[in-house]
RNA sequence: GGUGGGAUGGCCGAGCGGUUUAAGGCGGCGGUCUUGAAAACCGUUGAGCGAGAGCUCCGGGGGUUCGAAUCCCUCUCCCACCGCCA
């Protein structure tokens, strides 16, 4: 959520920055109009309440002295009715303004290139090289089918298309990777391991920005009005919702493994082969709550922490800085990490590392106090995948596949996986 | 799911219709004293809106009243016991 005071004091600047994110500026004007009306009504109501408070005190004194206060009582009662009417108006306008504010996306950071679509994204880093094969590398779905470790037809029978069924060594590989990544981030990178709820309420979904605009992308359990989480970002960022943290506690780092559920409405037929785009997947997520002045440095270290996963596994990847038009609703700046999948001959996004500045903090009520007695300030929130499992496994299968159809296990996880080669 | 008891400032806890602009204690911060510290004493210490005057907030929402932390209704959550279940 944007700061209404910022919108009020710099409307043209806000409009300009939102234009880079393809937001119609009439939305901003609508909010400014409501804001003006809101403040007028509020100050009228406040004045009348002041009068009422004074009169109530007077009445109290008169009654105490045994004098007649009925005329004053009646007069005050009428005043009270007018206040009630005003407050109903006020509440409606506040609600309308709040709902409008919730639909405005975050503004891009000044370092973000302005652009309409992913064509304007910039590759800002690259690690390793595309591996060479002396045979034709297969896509992961062929490797998985051959080894009988990936069974998409049966998963479709059970749930529908877009739901994976891992078996045998692939299921084991996923479990190994989850555990290994959690250890890496918690033991070496300083993140506190968490295991959050997989279903969350509307308030949490609104706090991180999935609601109100992306409801159709989420799975909803209607009887309880709870959503299956699309990412651990939602429960984890909301851990400290409506709290004022002690400044000395910051930065707060959390890592969580959760399954993620996404309806992927409207994306059928697009990159949906195999495990590339599924409705349910596993992910290890990194979340940071930090002081505002540190958030852009924190974004860089967050990115490094996520990259470390791919480096240790020896996977070639590149880092892409998203342009303004490609940023998600809540993000001010975002890097995507894209891992190379040689069988598909494609880079696949395995992580998005974003700085949301105070956008989510305002929605979720995430504050901190610099020192005793200081005014509460909003924290900055960040998150990034560290990393998403299906595409990571795609890259592993396709990168380390061997001519006989088996797959080598990289050194980093060989010990805990318990084998050198993935067979079936 | 049933019955009963709760929800007050960072924490504990009083208040049950009008100096509550929320007592008191703990904790925090500042000061006096001290070589320094502890103890003692003094002061201070919640949030939101508003340009400001000021207004609002005692779990959420609604009601009664000139006036509600206080009375009524309702919801949520917590605790206890019972039932059901992993």
Residue A226 belongs to what H/E stretch?
Answer: strand A226-228
pTM over the 0.90 mark:
yes
Asked if residue A42 keeps its beta carbon closer than 7 A to nucleic acid strand B, the reply is yes
Protein-to-nucleotide distance from the CA of A166 to the C1' of B43, whole angstroms: 68
Asked if residue A280 keeps its beta carbon closer than 7 A to nucleic acid strand B, the reply is no
CA-wise closest residue to A161 among A251, A69, A57, A278: A278
Please, what is the Cα angle at A133 between A132 and A137, to 5 degrees? 120
Q: Check: CB of residue A276 under 8 Å from CB of residue A91.
A: no
pLDDT band of A261, cuts 50, 70, 90? very high
Name the closest residue (CA) to the C1' of nucleotide B18. Answer: A60
Protein-to-nucleotide distance from the CA of A200 to the C1' of B3, whole angstroms: 30
Protein-to-nucleotide distance from the CA of A226 to the C1' of B3, whole angstroms: 29
For residue A166, which phi and psi values (nearest 5 degrees)? Answer: -95, 145
Q: Check: CB of residue A2 under 8 Å from CB of residue A14.
A: yes
Q: pLDDT at position A332, please? A: 97
| Separation of alpha carbons A370 and A250, rounded Å | 9
**Which residues lie closer than 8 Å to A374 by C-beta, 6 or more apart?**
A247
Q: Which nucleotide is nearest to A3 (CA to C1')?
A: B49
Protein-to-nucleotide distance from the CA of A16 to the C1' of B11, whole angstroms: 47
Q: pLDDT at position A268, please? A: 66
Asked if residue A4 keeps its beta carbon closer than 7 A to nucleic acid strand B, the reply is yes
Residues 225-264/A with CB < 7 A to strand B: 244
Q: pLDDT at position A62, please? A: 87
Asked if residue A46 keeps its beta carbon closer than 7 A to nucleic acid strand B, the reply is yes
State the average pLDDT for chain A: 93
Return the half-sphere exposure (C-beta side, CA atoms, 13 A cut-off) of residue A68.
Answer: 3
Q: What is the mean pLDDT of residues A72-94?
A: 91
Residues 85-114/A with CB < 7 A to strand B: 91
Protein-to-nucleotide distance from the CA of A112 to the C1' of B22, whole angstroms: 50
The DSSP symbol for A184 reads: I
Nucleotides on chain B that have an atom closer than 7 A to a protein CB are 10, 18, 28-29, 45-56, 62, 65-67
Q: pLDDT at position A269, please? A: 61
Q: pLDDT at position A270, please? A: 60
Q: What is the mean pLDDT of residues A82-90?
A: 91
Q: Which nucleotide is nearest to A57 (CA to C1')?
A: B18
Helices (H), A65-215: 70-102, 140-147, 152-158, 168-183, 202-208
Q: pLDDT above 70 covers what percent of chain A? A: 99
Residues of A with active-site annotation: 262, 277, 349, 352, 391
Protein-to-nucleotide distance from the CA of A379 to the C1' of B68, whole angstroms: 36
Q: Which nucleotide is nearest to A76 (CA to C1')?
A: B66
Asked if residue A372 keeps its beta carbon closer than 7 A to nucleic acid strand B, the reply is yes
Q: What is the mean pLDDT of residues A346-360?
A: 97
Protein-to-nucleotide distance from the CA of A117 to the C1' of B41, whole angstroms: 68
Q: What is the mean pLDDT of residues A395-411?
A: 97
Asked if residue A49 keeps its beta carbon closer than 7 A to nucleic acid strand B, the reply is yes
Q: Which nucleotide is nearest to A63 (CA to C1')?
A: B18
């Amino acid at each position: 959520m944007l700061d209404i005071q910022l919108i009020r004091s710099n409307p043209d600047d806000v409009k300009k920055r939102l234009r880079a994110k393809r937001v119609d500026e009439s939305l901003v004007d609508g909010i400014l109009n409501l804001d003006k009306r809101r403040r007028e009504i509020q100050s009228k109501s406040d004045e009348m309440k002041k009068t009422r408070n004074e009169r109530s005190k007077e009445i109290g004194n008169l009654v105490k002295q045994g004098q007649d206060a009925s005329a004053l009582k009646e007069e005050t009662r009428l005043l009270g009715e007018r206040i009630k009417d005003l407050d109903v108006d006020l509440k409606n306008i506040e609600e309308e303004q709040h709902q409008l504010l919730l639909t405005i996306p975050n503004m891009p950071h000044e370092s973000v290139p302005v652009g309409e679509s992913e064509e304007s994204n910039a590759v800002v880093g690259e690690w390793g090289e595309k591996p060479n094969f002396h045979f034709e590398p297969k896509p992961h779905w062929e490797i998985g089918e051959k080894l009988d470790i990936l069974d998409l037809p049966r998963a479709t029978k059970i749930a529908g298309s877009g739901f994976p069924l891992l078996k045998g060594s692939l299921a084991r590989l996923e479990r190994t990777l989850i555990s290994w990544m959690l250890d890496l981030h918690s033991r070496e990178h300083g993140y506190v391991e968490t295991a959050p709820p997989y279903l969350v309420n509307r308030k949490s979904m609104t706090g991180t920005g999935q609601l109100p605009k992306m409801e159709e992308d989420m799975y909803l359990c209607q009887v309880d009005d709870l959503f299956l989480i699309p990412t651990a970002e939602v429960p984890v960022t909301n851990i400290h919702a409506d709290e004022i943290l002690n400044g000395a506690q910051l930065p707060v780092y959390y890592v969580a493994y959760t399954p993620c559920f996404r309806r992927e409405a409207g994306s059928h037929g697009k990159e949906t082969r195999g495990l590339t785009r599924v409705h349910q997947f596993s992910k290890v997520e990194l979340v940071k709550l930090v002081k505002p002045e540190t958030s852009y440095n924190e974004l860089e270290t967050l990115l490094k922490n996520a990259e470390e996963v791919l480096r240790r596994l020896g996977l070639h990847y590149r880092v892409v800085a998203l342009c303004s038009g490609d940023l998600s609703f809540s993000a001010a700046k975002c890097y995507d990490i894209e891992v190379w999948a040689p069988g598909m001959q494609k880079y696949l996004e395995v992580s998005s590392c974003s700085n949301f500045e105070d956008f989510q903090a305002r929605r979720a009520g995430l504050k901190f106090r610099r020192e005793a007695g200081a005014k509460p300030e909003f924290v900055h929130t960040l998150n990034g995948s560290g990393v998403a499992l299906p595409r990571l496994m795609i890259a592993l299968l396709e990168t380390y596949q061997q001519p006989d159809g088996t797959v080598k296990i990289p050194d980093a996880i060989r010990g805990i996986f318990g084998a050198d080669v993935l067979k079936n």
